[in-house]
Amino acid sequence: MLKIWSMKQQQQQAENAEGAAGKKKKKVTAAQLRVQRDLQELTLGNTMKMSFPNPDDILNFTLSIEPDEECTRVVKCTQKIYHPNIDLEGNVCLNILREDWKPVLNLNAVIVGMQFLFLEPNASDPLNKEAAEDLRSNRDSFKRNVRSSMAGGSVRGVSFERVLK
């Protein structure tokens, strides 16, 4: 919490100094302050990595999750995946990202929710109906299709990029 206030104080001092010089600096938004606090409290497990393409922009980041379970191993949130709760455009069906969102939820809650989604795909609330049906009807076939898609193969006529290391 102290860092957030010190960031605000530093910004104010910089604005005062630059105001005298005739330059304007961007203000820190409430969203930036919230994300900064969430990042300080965030605990990522061994299977998750977070990167910031622009270190000065903490609102835009990439999260990579590498669950221990073999069938859903490794994707970045921006890559196409064969998953019942993620469509081919990358939209994610996770309740806390939609109807169950509350301002008290922090980044850690979202990341844990995403990790759970990879460990326990939900065939009863699908965005990718074919993957959901595959999971419901034959789990072994679903696992093979996930492995194939992540290795850069195709599933049901859809080609996937290789995402396995």
Say which residue, 136 or 68, is predicted with more confidence: 136
For residues 57 and 114, state if they share a domain: yes
Cα distance between residue 151 and residue 165, in whole Å: 9
Specify the pairing of strand 62-65 against strand 75-76: antiparallel
For the cut 90, the answer to whether the pLDDT of residue 64 exceeds it is no
Q: What percent of the chain has pLDDT over 70?
A: 79
For residues 92 and 21, state if they share a domain: no
CB–CB of 126/142 below 8 Å? no
For residues 16 and 55, state if they share a domain: no
Would you name the residues annotated as active-site residues?
A: 93
pLDDT of residue 107: 84
- 2-6, 37-41, 82-86, 140-144: lowest mean pLDDT where? 2-6
Residue 35 inside a domain? The answer is yes
Mean pLDDT across the chain: 82
Q: What are phi and psi of 3, to 5 degrees?
A: -65, -35
For the cut 80, the answer to whether the pLDDT of residue 13 exceeds it is no
Residue 165 inside a domain? The answer is no
**Per-range mean pLDDT, top range of 10-19, 47-56, 113-122:** 113-122
Say which residue, 26 or 117, is predicted with more confidence: 117
pLDDT in tens, 126-162: 999 999 999 999 999 999 999 999 999 999 999 999 9
pLDDT of residue 77: 52
For residues 28 and 101, state if they share a domain: no
For the cut 80, the answer to whether the pLDDT of residue 35 exceeds it is yes
For residues 37 and 89, state if they share a domain: no
| Burial grade of 65 (CB within 10 A; 0-12, 13-18, 19 or more) | buried
Cα distance between residue 78 and residue 24, in whole Å: 34
